[in-house]
Structure 1
Amino acid sequence: MKIVERHESPDRALTLLVSELDGDITIGFEGLPWHTHADLEAARTGRPRVLAVRELVDSILQDRQVIAVATINRQICAAWPTEALSPDPFQPADETLTFRRWSGAVASVARP
């Protein structure tokens, strides 16, 4: 897999990667499970693949996109872009969900 772009958040909590393998472009946070594909973003937005990827990456990096960050014992276990600033009804009791911006600005905190 070839890393096309690598961006580290100002607080160094998250690293956003854009990767390519055999023409499949993925966007995700390094070491965390969530990711999406250029084809899915293109279908979701109605934009060409390259433009859809650029728009998602820019919306994250320019603080327009809220990022949900799940932590257990202060360790990040998951992160994903979200529109919903509400707790997950299936959130484990020991998990804290923080809604933040790329800059590190906190939008909201949800605890079960």
Structure 2
Amino acid sequence: MLAMFIETYADPTGTLTLAIDRAEDGTVSIGFAGFPWHVHPCLLTGEFGATDEAATEGFKDAVLGNRLVIAIVRKAKEIIHVSITGCPDTEADGLPDGEELELRYWNGSRWTSGDPTLPFG
């Protein structure tokens, strides 16, 4: 199924692009361009907004506002996976040998245990 980007946002480091897209059937998803992880607004309602549209905006604002933690997995320095994590303390559990995890915010600053974050997941 083909998707069309509605909005894209490049992070200040030039590493990631947050993408909001709409599939041919009208389904909206939010994720990172070039990577399979995504979330649908219907899963964000309540926590990020009362409607799908409000939840999309609320989630986008939380990512861009450095309130959600981004997990980046690299293998041989190449990014192989990007997602939002609600459990950064345990994100590295079970990480295969040869893969490295970076936990950071949209602006590129590193997450450290004890940083305040919004729940997600």
User: Given residue 68 of structure 1, which amino acid in structure 2 is its aligned partner?
Assistant: A
The percentage of aligned residue pairs carrying the same residue is: 30
Structure 2 letter corresponding to 1:97: L
What do you get for the CA RMSD once the two structures are aligned?
1.8
Distance, in Å, in 1 between the alignment partners of 2:69 and 2:101 is 12
TM-score, normalised via structure 1 length: 0.87
SS in 2 for 1:28: strand
**Aligned partner letter, 1:58:** D
Identify unmatched segments of 5+ residues in structure 2: 113-121
Secondary structure in structure 1 of the residue aligned to 2:67: coil
| TM-score normalised per structure 2 | 0.81
Farther off after superposition, 85-94 or 36-45: 36-45
Cα deviation code 1:13-71 (max 9, x no counterpart): 11110001232110010111210112222266572100111111110011111111111
Residue 17 of structure 1 is matched in structure 2 by 19
C-alpha distance in 2 between matches for 1:91 and 1:43: 31
Counterparts of 2:92 and 2:46, CA distance in 1:
26
Structure 2 residue aligned with 1:105, among 95, 105, 109? 109
Work out the number of aligned pairs and report it.
Answer: 109
What are structure 1's unaligned runs of at least 5 residues? none
Whether the 8 Å CA contact 1:67–1:100 is kept in 2: the answer is yes
- Higher percent of residues as strand: 1
